[in-house]
């Protein structure tokens, strides 16, 4: 028996302490009351749209609880990266020579996981941001994110009236939601700026969904 235990331990992967802390956060039971649930709305700015080849330039995030933004709980990091697409730099304005404090990708992941803990993550077209974070984790030999995700693009469609007279778009850009909910876009195409726009849109969407028959937290999170 002792031999088997030793053999099992030998095959176990040893992850950094910050991953263990993050993983332990999921031992806490998630709240069932919408006002008690902590959401983290986040955005990544990247060198491009190729999940495997492109890299994260910055991550911005905001904490939401009790259906309001916790203004003192914001997160923003800029990463050292040496791979750029000139056209994307023009959009994001994140130049390598800019005098912003920068950290390594592993440091950024450590800080991000420490910030999000076991929160429900919210993003616009969340699949891309989740994939970019997961790919970065993979590069450092770490597992994928454990958090549940909500996509504001998908949620917004659920607020629309189901009528043959109204033609839904297949995809709704963040600018579409900003226009719909009259959200300022001054800091558009910065990670924290886009996270803010997404957060305001999410709160508006939540308000509409709560007014629909059959709404429940369970349905929202599933």
C-beta atoms surrounding 98 within 10 Å:
9
pLDDT at 133 over 70: yes
pLDDT at 38 over 60: yes
pLDDT at 20 over 60: yes
CATH number (domain holding residue 205): 3.30.420.10
Who contacts 191 (Cβ-Cβ below 8 Å, separation ≥6)?
A: 42, 43, 44, 45, 57, 58, 59, 60, 76
Q: Which domain holds residue 196?
A: 37-155+167-221
Report how far apart, in Å, the C-alpha atoms of 206 and of each of 44, 151, 164, 215 are: 22, 12, 24, 10
Q: pTM for this structure?
A: 0.87
Query: What is residue 7's predicted lDDT score, i.e. its pLDDT?
Result: 47
Query: What is residue 14's predicted lDDT score, i.e. its pLDDT?
Result: 86
Q: How many domains does the chain have?
A: 1
Assigned domain for 41 exists: yes
Assigned domain for 4 exists: no
Q: What residue ranges in the chain does DSSP mark as E strands?
A: 39-46, 56-65, 68-78, 120-123, 149-151
Assigned domain for 188 exists: yes
For tokens 């993550």, the residue is 121
pLDDT at 135 over 70: yes
How large is the average pLDDT for residues 42-64?
95
Assigned domain for 12 exists: no
Assigned domain for 142 exists: yes
Assigned domain for 14 exists: no
Assigned domain for 31 exists: no
**pLDDT tens figures, 93-130:** 655 546 678 999 999 999 999 999 999 999 999 999 99
**pLDDT tens figures, 140-188:** 999 999 999 999 999 999 998 776 666 677 789 999 999 999 999 888 8
* Spacing of C-alpha 146 from chain mean position: 12
Q: In whole angstroms, what is the distance from residue 121 CA to residue 137 CA?
A: 16
């Amino acid at each position: 028996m002792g031999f088997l235990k030793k053999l099992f331990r030998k095959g176990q992967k040893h992850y950094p302490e910050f991953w263990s802390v993050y993983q332990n956060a999921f031992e806490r039971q998630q709240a069932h009351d919408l006002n008690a649930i902590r959401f983290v709305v986040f955005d990544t700015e990247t060198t491009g749209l190729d999940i495997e080849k492109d890299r994260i330039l910055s991550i911005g995030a905001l904490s939401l609880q009790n259906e309001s933004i916790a203004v003192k709980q914001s997160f923003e990091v800029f990463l050292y990266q040496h791979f750029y697409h000139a056209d994307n730099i023009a959009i994001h304005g994140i130049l390598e020579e800019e005098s912003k404090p920068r950290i390594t990708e592993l440091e950024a992941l450590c800080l991000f996981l420490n910030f999000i803990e076991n929160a429900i993550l919210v993003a616009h077209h969340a699949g891309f941001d989740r994939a970019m974070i997961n790919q970065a984790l993979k590069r450092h030999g770490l597992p994928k994110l454990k958090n549940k995700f909500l996509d504001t693009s998908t949620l917004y469609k659920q607020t629309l009236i189901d009528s043959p007279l109204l033609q839904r778009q297949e995809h709704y850009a963040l600018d579409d939601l900003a226009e719909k909910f009259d959200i300022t876009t001054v800091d558009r195409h910065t990670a924290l700026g886009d996270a803010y726009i997404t957060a305001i849109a999410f709160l508006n969407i939540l308000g509409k969904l709560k007014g629909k028959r059959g709404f429940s937290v369970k349905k929202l999170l599933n």
